[in-house]
Amino acid sequence: MDKVRIGIIGCGGIANAKHMPSLKKLPQVEMVAFCDIIEERAVRAAKEYGVEGASVCTDYRELLARKDIDVVHVLTPNRQHSFITVDALEAGKHVMCEKPMAINSAEAKKMLDAAKRTGKKLTIGYQSRFKPASRYLKQCMEHGDLGEVYFARAMAVRRRGVPTWGVFLDAENQGGGPLIDIGTHALDLTLWEMDNYEPAMVMGATFRKLADNENAANPWGPWDPKKFTVEDSAFGFVRMKNGALISLDASWALNTLRADDCKIILCGDKAGADTLGEDGGLRINGERFSKLYVTEPDLQAGGVDFYEGSAGGKPQEIEARMWIEHVMDDSKPLITKPEQAYVVTQILEAVYTSAATGKPVYFD
């Protein structure tokens, strides 16, 4: 395979901010078809990112009917992720689906089963894994530098950062608010760094305390409280089968000065680590020669690659390149395994279920 021909389903914000610009930089990629329920968006995307003669449609099934498309990127609101992905896999396409995997674990399981049944490749868009700090920390974990990690914090906390466009505030279309939107990134990164995908019990709480403020300070402008049907903050505790505990915090609006879109803290019996979120840094802490130490690796010095040639570019660009290389060559590393994303979805769903019932959710 010399070229990978891609169809884009959903030409909105995440497509334009992340996927299409990253794919356009790859010489082995051709974006040949674009679909959106708003035709004008698909037309603009085809003009800016597509090959000459790229097709445009408003029904994703028309795109999937094309035999010359190898890969589909599913970039729609959350509720559509599952059935479009399953249909794409059944149509013989490999699929990159934007996070979260699905609005609940039952829908995510359908995707997982379809990938296994068809033999097609499926991955979920968790680009935070490809930040320099995340990649360096992964190497530290694999080397055993932190020892046994028994406590972790996964934080995706905004003081004010409510997305007021699209359907982000709509529970029906999104399946939730900040927990499923940005908390999913922090949780995925934490589980991946720990290489621990065996939850035993989850307790959670969600709140809608600031959503009724009509003229609230917000970088993306005021929101309509009547349309704000999801939580504005959510919190969970995840007990893993090996005894490790993960604290999960997510908010779009919270009266706090400790805010960061994706930050994790790992505490091991040999050392600990804090990522510095959007700043991209990393601090390792521990004890040596009866003295406490904190060290901050120089992440610009190279030598933190997963494999030769993966350095360079923004996290979403590295993610796109590794995904396409995996499609073209099975020997290349897979990025996000769908089985891993499925566990993330199970835990998020458990937080929501626990919040609704006031009871812990236990895993078999």
Residue 224, pLDDT > 80, answer yes
Same domain, 115 and 133: no
Q: Using the predicted structure, report yes or no on whether residue 311 has a pLDDT greater than 60.
A: no
Cα–Cα distance for residue pair 150/147, rounded to 1 Å: 9
Average predicted confidence (pLDDT) for the chain = 94
Whether the predicted pLDDT of 253 surpasses 60:
yes
Residues with Cβ within 8 Å of 285's Cβ and at least 6 positions away in sequence, in order, are 271, 272, 273, 274, 292, 293, 294, 295
pLDDT at 186: 97
In a domain, 333, yes or no: no
Looking up residue 46, the CATH number of its domain turns out to be: 3.40.50.720
Task: Residue 163: name the closest of 219, 217, 216, 213 by CA.
Answer: 219
pLDDT of residue 303: 54
Residue 261: domain span: 129-313+343-362
The answer on 209 and 358 residing in a single domain is yes
Q: Is residue 261 a contact partner of residue 136, using CB atoms and an 8 Å limit?
A: no
Q: CB-side exposure of 35: number of CA atoms within 13 Å?
A: 20
- 121 shares its domain with 135: no
Say yes or no: 72 and 165 in one domain: no
Over the stretch 279-297, which tens digit does the pLDDT of each residue have?
Answer: 679 999 999 999 999 999 9
Q: Pick the closest to residue 196 from 246, 128, 270 (CA basis).
A: 246
pLDDT at 305: 54
Residues 138, 91: one domain?
Answer: no
Residue 136 inside a domain? The answer is: yes
Give yes or no: residues 105 and 150 share one domain.
Answer: no
In a domain, 39, yes or no: yes
pLDDT grade for 307, boundaries at 50, 70 and 90: very low
E strands, the chain, where? 4-9, 29-35, 55-57, 71-74, 94-98, 122-125, 149-157, 199-207, 233-240, 245-251, 260-268, 271-275, 282-288, 291-295, 361-362
Contact 336/191 with Cβ under 8 angstroms?
Answer: no
Based on the domain organization, do 172 and 42 belong to the same domain?
no
What is the pLDDT, as a whole number, of residue 308? Answer: 44
Beta strands 4-9; 29-35: pairing state: parallel
Residue 321 lies in a domain: no
pLDDT for the residue 136: 94
Q: Are residues 298 and 347 in the same domain?
A: yes
- 94-132: per-residue pLDDT in tens? 999 999 999 999 999 999 999 999 999 999 999 999 999
**Contact between 155 and 260 (Cβ < 8 Å):** yes
Q: Tell me what the mean pLDDT of segment 75-88 comes to.
A: 98
336 domain residue, yes or no = no
- Answer with the one of 90, 125, 160 that is the final residue of a domain: 125
Could you tell me if 76 and 146 lie in one domain? no
Last residue of a domain, one of 107, 125, 143: 125
Residue that finishes a domain, picked among 69, 100, 125: 125
Residue burial 34-67, b: 16+ Cβ < 10 Å; e: rest? bbbeeeebbbbbbeebbeeebbbbeebeebbebe
Q: Are residues 160 and 294 in the same domain?
A: yes
Domain identity same for 76 and 170:
no
Tens digit of pLDDT for each residue in 146-163?
Answer: 999 999 999 999 999 999
Residue whose pair of structure tokens reads 């000065």 in the numeric block: 257
Tell me, yes or no, whether 185 lies in a domain: yes
- Is 113 within a domain? yes
- Per-residue model confidence as pLDDT tens digits over 254-282: 999 988 889 999 999 999 999 986 667 99
Measured CA distances, 240 to 46, 243, 256, 270 (Å): 45, 5, 28, 20
Give the helix ranges, DSSP H, for 145-252.
171-174, 178, 184-194
325's enclosing H/E stretch is helix 315-328
Tell me if 221 is assigned to some domain: yes
CATH number where 154 lies: 3.30.360.10
pLDDT one-digit tens code per residue, 168-194: 999 999 999 999 999 999 999 999 999
Please state the domain count of the chain: 2
- Is 115 in the same domain as 200? no
